[in-house]
Chains A and B, each alone.
Chain A
Amino acid sequence: MIVQDSKTILEVRGLCASVNGIEILKGLDFTVKSGEVHAIMGPNGSGKSTFAKVLAGHAAYEVTGGSVLFEGNNLFELAPEERARAGVFLAFQYPIEIPGVANSQFLRLTYNTVQAQRGMEELDPLEFDDFVREQMKLLEMSPDFLDRSVNEGFSGGEKKRNEILQMALLDPRLAILDETDSGLDIDALRIVSQGVNQLATQDNAIVLVTHYQRLLNYIVPDFVHVMEAGRIIKTGGKELALELETRGYDWVAAEYQSASENRLV
């Protein structure tokens, strides 16, 4: 929700980034304040996922220009794990499977690592078990998932639920959900969305990266942005998503094109 006089969580100015020498982000501007839900939409290859990974600190993406302030601090001075501890969370489009590591072990390790860094109490295995089972109810996850290897043999929906479970445990200030809706059936979409909605507060913010308007029926955004060729070219309210659903993206690009030509004239 849009809250008057709320703090700025993320401020991106003129961000440029490349991967393998190819420039993907070309001067991106983006501001997020606490309490807000943003949706970033756009065609394939427009740079949405790159933006998400740059924010999380993936080493394959080289930042070549611009700045990103996270709660007023330079985000690029922080290693990926430091960003996570500071409150940046990325729900992966394709969560990684880790055979051989029990989900419960992994979840407790990450939870306690982040808690310790924030000067908060760590939980022993028994305490954590109670805590995590409570959180799992939110996502209608069976406790069986605790004993299985991290994401191994999980269905697409189960992996995404496991991502949102991690979001619940790590309690981020900024959660970026990278195509969390893709590959979900209608029930899984409802459950995952309900989980996200319950986790949204006045003190945090959520950025949804998505192709489809469908998700936005469940998680209603305050702002919808259209990304094209490494920039945000249009920003609107939730009704923009519906318009994109019926009209596609081409008209937005054309509008942007003529607007910038007019500026030149």
Chain B
Amino acid sequence: MSTVTAIQRPAEGILETLLAGQPQLPVSPLAWINALRLEAVNRLDLLTLPTKRNEEWRFTDIAPLTRLSFQPVRCATYLEPADIAHFDIEEASTRLVFVDGCYAPQLSVAAADSGVVVANLPTVLATHAIAIEAHLGRHAAFHENVFAALNTAFLHDVAVIVVPRNKVLVAPVHLLFIATQQQVVSTPRCLVVAESGSSVTLIEDYVTLCQAGGQEEAHLTNAVTEIVLENNACVNHIRIQREDVNAFHIANCAVSVGRSSNYQSVSVALGAQISRYNLDVLLAEGAECAVDGLALIASNQLADTHTCIDHTEPHGVSRQLHKCIVGGSAHAVFNGKVMVRQGAQRTDSVQSSRNLLLTRKAHVDTNPQLEIFADDVKCAHGATIGQLDSEEVFYLQSRGLSDSVARNLLTYAFGAEIIDRIPVASLKHQLEQMVLEQTSSKS
């Protein structure tokens, strides 16, 4: 989470331009939503955009973003189902599509069978207002986080998933966020509540749909996701960021993992010129999480992943493997904090950051952090940064593969270890193809 204390703010900055458009949002019939937005707007008066002087942003310079001007989305682009057919994930029986952050019912296949809710916020407020009020805006803290506050100030459409008690949803839920307009800020938002004993697989998918001639100007995606696992629940969370290379992508995700629950997350960052993903996971007693990530970037892309796994109670288990494959003059950042609070005895945590640099100009900053305030724990962490192993390249060459094919295969294999952990076969295959194409062109 960013902590922004500076008071000075340049006149007519990006925040002012955006906030000027905020009052045009339609008023919600629910007072608490209006109050939440207002609270966020008020917070924004005190917050500024982070700079490299801020500890949490010291490797990631968002100056290129602040130099541009963005507008809130005023009218949604109308798309036909055929326009987005190639984003289809066959295993997913339900899909919510948001175009520039606005819900697109004509593209969505919403479900409400046997009590499972997969729908846009206004549709479910009438039936699930209490559950939603208890969680929306309560997990992703925006008081110190300018981007989360900005998202909350523009709260309108929200992908809501509520899996009722003991319900096991076998088919994954696909949340597709499509950016189509240039020079706008979209504010995608998700809320997932997995009630006791339930199970769900969630695919959060960020894409750009290029207009003819391709995207030349940037857009900014500023997403917030909140995921709540009540006791003994299971959530598989797959997050794919494959936006256009001109895009700016900022996302905050907060996960609260209840007692004896299991949260599995795989996040893959391929797109955007600057992307930042903050993932905060709070673990209750006996809760388990696996938080894996892959950033595959080249040219002058920057991909920054900040995670915090917070063991607050005893017997928690966390596993994290984060990998970066960096080509061109790209820059990857990983900051992974594992916190073991006082009293969180018998915590078992393993964290690993592995990085592959493909060129001399590629750059990675990795910072695994372990903060332990309990005395009976098992924790390990480590980081490696390297190039392809010449013995491995030679082995493949000795089997007839050319130097470049050998290098591509090894690069692909490095990333495939993460992709393999995605439990959705068609998506896994799609990503493997993307990684294969990228590694062939980027090295």
Contacts and interface: CB of A to CB of B under 8 A. Distances in A.
A58 B394 contact: yes
Nearest to B411: A100
A43 to B, nearest CB: 24
28 contacts: A57-B397, A58-B394, A59-B390, A80-B394, A80-B398, A81-B398, A81-B403, A81-B406, A84-B400, A89-B398, A92-B395, A96-B391, A96-B395, A98-B392, A98-B396, A99-B417, A100-B414, A101-B412, A101-B413, A101-B416, A106-B409, A109-B409, A110-B396, A113-B401, A113-B405, A114-B400, A149-B413, A166-B399
The 4 A-B residue pairs whose C-beta atoms are closest, nearest first, are: A100-B413, A100-B416, A80-B397, A84-B400
Contacts of B391: 96
Contacts of A85: 400
Contacts of A58: 394
Given A81-B400, A81-B402, A85-B400, A100 B395 contact: no
B420 interface: yes
Q: Which of B396, B406, B415 lies at the interface centre, i.e. has the most chain A CB atoms within 10 A of its CB?
A: B396
Nearest to A109: B401
B111 interface: no
Interface of A: 56-60, 79-81, 83-85, 89-90, 92, 95-96, 98-101, 106, 109-110, 113-114, 117, 149, 166, 170
A105 B331 CA distance: 31
Contacts of B397: 57, 79-81, 84
Contacts of A113: 399-401, 405
B413 A56 contact: no
B116 interface: no
B410 interface: yes
B394 A117 contact: no
Interface of B: 389-392, 394-403, 405-406, 409-410, 412-417, 420
A170 B399 contact: yes
A92 B391 CA distance: 11
B410 A98 contact: yes
A51 B394 CA distance: 15
A138 to B, nearest CB: 19
A39 B399 CA distance: 22
B317 to A, nearest CB: 23
Contacts of B394: 56-59, 80
A8 B126 CA distance: 87
Contacts, number: 77
A57 B398 contact: yes
Given A96-B392, A100-B414, A101-B413, 4 more contacts: A80-B398, A101-B409, A106-B399, A110-B396
Contact of B399 (A60, A79, A84): A84
A258 B415 CA distance: 59
Contacts of B410: 98
A79 B398 contact: no
A247 B401 CA distance: 43
B94 to A, nearest CB: 31
Nearest to B414: A100
A78 to B, nearest CB: 11
B390 A84 contact: no
A106 B412 CA distance: 12
Contacts of A84: 397-400
Given A59-B390, A60-B390, A95-B395, A100 B401 contact: no
A100 B394 CA distance: 18
A59 B403 CA distance: 12
Nearest to A92: B395
A5 to B, nearest CB: 31
B392 A170 contact: no
Contact of B413 (A80, A99, A170): A99
Contacts of B398: 56-57, 80-81, 83-84, 89-90, 92
Contacts of A60: 390
B255 to A, nearest CB: 27
Contacts of A57: 394, 397-398
Given A59-B394, A98-B392, A100-B420, A81 B412 contact: no
Nearest to B391: A96
A35 B217 CA distance: 67
Contacts of B400: 81, 84-85, 110, 113-114, 117, 170
A56 B399 CA distance: 10
B403 A110 contact: no
A59 B396 CA distance: 13
Contacts of B409: 98, 101, 106, 109
Contacts of A117: 400
A130 B394 CA distance: 28
Q: Which of B399, B405, B409 lies at the interface centre, i.e. has the most chain A CB atoms within 10 A of its CB?
A: B399
B311 to A, nearest CB: 28
A226 to B, nearest CB: 26
A106 B398 CA distance: 13
Contacts of B413: 98-101, 149
Contacts of B390: 59-60
Contacts of B402: 79, 81
Nearest to A80: B397
B121 to A, nearest CB: 40
A149 B394 CA distance: 18
Nearest to B416: A100
A100 B399 contact: no
A80 B401 CA distance: 9
Contacts of A99: 413, 417
A52 to B, nearest CB: 10
A98 B396 CA distance: 10
A79 B391 CA distance: 15
A149 B391 CA distance: 17
Nearest to A112: B400
A59 B417 CA distance: 28
Contacts of B414: 100
Contacts of A79: 397, 402-403
Contacts of A95: 395
A100 B356 CA distance: 15
A96 B394 CA distance: 10
Nearest to A84: B400
Q: Which of B389, B397, B405 lies at the interface centre, i.e. has the most chain A CB atoms within 10 A of its CB?
A: B397
A56 B394 CA distance: 9
A56 B391 CA distance: 12
A100 B403 contact: no
